[in-house]
Amino acid sequence: MKLEQLKIIQTLKDHDPVELPMDDMFFNQLHGRIMKKVDKTDIKEAHRWSKTWVFLENTAKAQRSNPRR
């Protein structure tokens, strides 16, 4: 990798604009909020075609990325 690219990456890391709350209480509250919703939610059964769909999708993707095949 070129030095200039490394400099850009390092500068981005040094000036990371995202600041997360550090206190545990914040994350406990977020966790509680999420689990409250999860308690009211059910796991949906996978659609009978989902596996076929995923297979077809992946095959299509592979062909698109390598059109010579």
Partner 1 sequence: MKREIDSQLGTNLIEKSDLQLVEEVRSGLKASFSELVKRHQKGLLRLSMRFVKDLDNAQDIVQESFIKSYEKLSSFEGRSSFKSWLYQITVNTARNRLRENRYDFSDIENVQIGIEAVAEKNLVHRAVGDILNKEVEKLPFKQKTALVLRVYEDLSFAEIAAIMECPYDTAKANYRHALLKLKEALDDKHELKTWTHEVGGFLTELNTKYLEAE
Q: Which of residues 5-24 bind partner 1 (CB under 8 A)?
A: 5-18, 20-21
Residues 6+ apart with CB under 8 A from 47: 53
How far apart, in whole angstroms, are the C-alpha atoms of residue 14 and residue 25?
27
Compute the CA torsion angle 20, 24, 27, 28 (nearest 10 deg).
Answer: -170
Least gap, CB of 47 to partner 1 (angstroms): 8
Would you count residue 60 as binding partner 1 (CB under 8 A)?
no
| Contact residues: partner 1, CB under 8 A | 3-18, 20-21, 27, 30-31, 33-35, 37-39, 41-47, 50, 54, 61-62, 65
